[in-house]
Copies of this chain bind each other. A is one copy, B any other.
Amino acid sequence: MSEAHLLEPLVRRWSRRLPLSADDRSAILALPATKKSFGRDAYMVREGARTTECNLLLRGFAYRQKLLSDGERQIISIHIPTEFIDLQNGILGTADHNVQSLNHSEVAAVPRSALMELADKSASARLAMWIDTLIDASIFREWVVNVGRRDARARIAHLLCELALRLERTGAGRDGSFDLPLTQEQLADATGLTAVHTNRTLQSLRREGLIQLSNGILRVLDWEGLRKVGDFDELYLHQKI
């Protein structure tokens, strides 16, 4: 397994968004990349750490989080394969939040310097990176709305809509069924709720035949219904470019 192939998924994702020349492609694939594995809940990036490399998620899930001084945790975003989990750190230099592996995951670690050189050299790659960070930001904005103004049912429904759609776009899952190994506690930390209330809310969504969620598998039974409960509008994902 040559290193170049590690970044193939990145090339594929970026080229769906904008035209990449042959030079662009080979420059991206020529980036030095090291495969790394992380176990469940392992820290991939630590708040306050200086950046030396950026990680592209190849397999598994990752989530960004911050810890409050009283130990409470807020999950800020959840990431799926082909996404960078810390691209912004490459530019800002210091991580302002933690990133953890959700389940067993694998990343391609690219030295920050090489990535920055690519950005200087290739206008397309640079734009693709910038867009990646901007879509991240757009998702953060929607999450502010989600935890700020929606009730428990809507928060969870919205989050599941987002994840289902993003997973679908990368070809993961089929028939509205996706691998989603989130514990209810993690789901609670992502929606600003407690695990107990998350449990009751999930039950209510299940009772109404909107979803099925067990054994780390999400099945959306009634997409329109879930979308409505979650007040979900996919514009913010910027995936139809």
For the complex, is A35 an interface residue (Cβ under 8 Å from B)? no
A134 adjacent to B133 (CB under 8 Å): yes
Q: How far is the CA of A120 from the CA of B121 in the complex (A)?
A: 11
Q: Which residues of A contact B (CB under 8 A)?
A: 47-48, 64, 66, 68-70, 72-74, 76-77, 88, 91-94, 96-97, 120, 123, 126-127, 130-131, 133-138, 140-145, 147-150, 191-192, 231, 235-236, 238, 241
**Which residues of B have CB within 8 Å of A235?**
47-48, 94, 96
A147 nearest CB neighbor, chain B only:
B148
Q: How far is the CA of A97 from the CA of B140 in the complex (A)?
A: 12
> Do most interface residues of chain A lie in helix, strand or loop, or is the interface mixed?
helix
**Which residues of B have CB within 8 Å of A144?**
74, 76, 140, 143-144, 147
B97 adjacent to A141 (CB under 8 Å): yes
If A66-B141, A231-B69 touch, whether A92 touches B134 (CB-CB below 8 Å) is yes
